[in-house]
Amino acid sequence: MKKKKAAANALKVPRNASIRQIYARARAAFSAADLQRYTEIEPTIPAEQLLAELQAIHQRATLGRKKR
């Protein structure tokens, strides 16, 4: 089984670091490879198809309630 990649690497900052220091380290640690993960185009389904599937699910659920 493949291991999931960590969403974000832990930042190493001094114990009493200010918020500016923390953000500066976070910006420095963020690389182009990290950004690439969010810019990849993933396969999607059309909104009309999703809406039709949700309506069918809703119809089945409401029919089950009315029969009882």
State pLDDT tens for residues 14-55. Answer: 899 999 999 999 888 888 888 888 888 888 899 999 999 999
> pTM for this structure?
0.42
> Does 29 reside within a domain?
yes
- The number of domains in the chain is 1
Is 6 part of a structural domain of the chain?
A: no
Q: Do 11 and 29 touch, CB atoms closer than 8 A?
A: yes
- Full domain range(s) for residue 62: 19-67
In this structure, is residue 13 part of a structural domain? Answer: no
- The answer to whether 9 touches 26, Cβ cutoff 8 Å, is no
**Residue 6 pLDDT class (50, 70, 90 cuts):** low
Confirm whether 40 is domain-assigned.
yes
Domain annotation covers residue 9: no
Residue at 53 is within a domain: yes
